[in-house]
Structure 1
Amino acid sequence: MENEELLFLKDLLETPSPTGSEVPVATLVRQRLAPVADEIATDVMGSVHARLDGRDAGPSLMLAAHMDEIGLMVTYVSDEGFLSVAAVGGVDAAILPGMRVDVHASGAAEPLRGVVGRKPIHLIEADERKSVTPLDKLVIDLGMPGEAVRDAVRVGDVITFGVGFETFGEGMAVSRAFDDKCGVWVACRVMERLAEAGRAPGAFIAAATVQEEIGTRGAMTSAHAVRPDVAVAFDVTHATDYPGIDKAKYGKITCGEGPVIARGPNINPVVFDRLVAAAEAEGIPYQLEAEPSVTGTDARAIQVTRGGIPTGLVSVPLRYMHTPTEVVALADLEATVRLLTRFALDLDAEACFVPGMADPVRPGIPVTLADLDADAPRAADAVTAEVEQGAGRPESPEPAVYDPNTASTE
Structure 2
Amino acid sequence: MQIRNILENLVETPSVSGFEQSASHIIESFLKDTCNDIKRDKLGNLIAYKKGNAQKPIKIMLAAHMDEIGLMVKDIDEKGFVKFTTIGGVDQRTLLAQEVIIHGEKNLLGIVATKAPHLQTPEEQKESIKIEDMLIDIGLSKTAAEKIITIGDPITINRKIISLQENVVAGKALDDKAGVAAIIVCFKELKKWHHQCDVYGVATVQEEVGTRGAMVSTFQIAPHIGIAVDVGFGKTPELSKGDSLDLGRGPGIGFGANIHPKIHERLKKIAKEYNIPYQVDLSPANSGTDAQSMQISQSGVATGVISIPLRYMHTSVETVDIIDIKNTGRLLAYFITSLDDEDLEEFLCF
Common fold by TM > 0.5: yes
TM-score (normalizing by structure 2): 0.96
Match of 1:13 in 2: 11
CA-CA distance at 1:356 after TM superposition: 7.4
Q: In the alignment, is residue 243 of structure 1 matched against residue 237 of structure 2? A: yes
Q: In the alignment, is residue 148 of structure 1 matched against residue 140 of structure 2? A: no
Letter in 2 for 1:313: V
Q: Which runs of 5+ in 2 are unaligned?
A: none
Q: 1:301 to 1:317 in 2, by over 3 A?
A: same
1:172 counterpart (168, 173, 176): 168
Q: 1:60 to 1:192 in 2, by over 3 A?
A: same
2:287 counterpart (295, 298, 304): 295
Task: Tell me the SS of whatever aligns to 1:311.
Answer: strand
Match of 1:52 in 2: 50
Deviating runs (4+, > 6 A) in structure 1?
Answer: none
Letter in 2 for 1:34: K
Match of 1:212 in 2: 207
Letter in 2 for 1:333: I
Q: 1:355 to 1:5 in 2, by over 3 A?
A: closer
Match of 2:68 in 1: 69
2:229 counterpart (205, 228, 234): 234
Alignment of 1:6-405 (within 5 A): 6-56=4-54, 57-105=56-104, 107-108=105-106, 111-198=107-194, 200-240=195-235, 242-247=236-241, 250=243, 252-352=244-344, 357=349
Q: 1:5 to 1:169 in 2, by over 3 A?
A: closer
How far apart, in 1, do the equivalents of 2:266 and 2:224 lie?
A: 15
Contact 1:266 1:303 in 2 (8 A): yes
CA-CA distance at 1:12 after TM superposition: 0.6
TM-score (normalizing by structure 1): 0.83
CA-CA distance at 1:294 after TM superposition: 1.4
Q: How many residues align?
A: 349
Contact 1:180 1:235 in 2 (8 A): yes
Letter in 1 for 2:39: A
Task: Tell me the SS of whatever aligns to 2:191.
Answer: helix
Match of 1:4 in 2: 2
CA-CA distance at 1:50 after TM superposition: 0.6
CA-CA distance at 1:62 after TM superposition: 0.6
Higher strand share: 2
Determine what percentage of the aligned residue pairs are the same residue.
Answer: 35
How far apart, in 1, do the equivalents of 2:34 and 2:234 lie?
A: 33
Which deviations, in whole Å up to 9, do the C-alpha atoms of 1:215-265 show, x marking residues without a partner?
10000000001111111000001112x2222445x2x41111000001011
Contact 2:186 2:332 in 1 (8 A): yes
Task: Tell me the SS of whatever aligns to 1:152.
Answer: coil
Letter in 2 for 1:210: V
Contact 1:232 1:313 in 2 (8 A): yes
CA-CA distance at 1:282 after TM superposition: 0.7
Q: Which runs of 5+ in 1 are unaligned?
A: 359-410
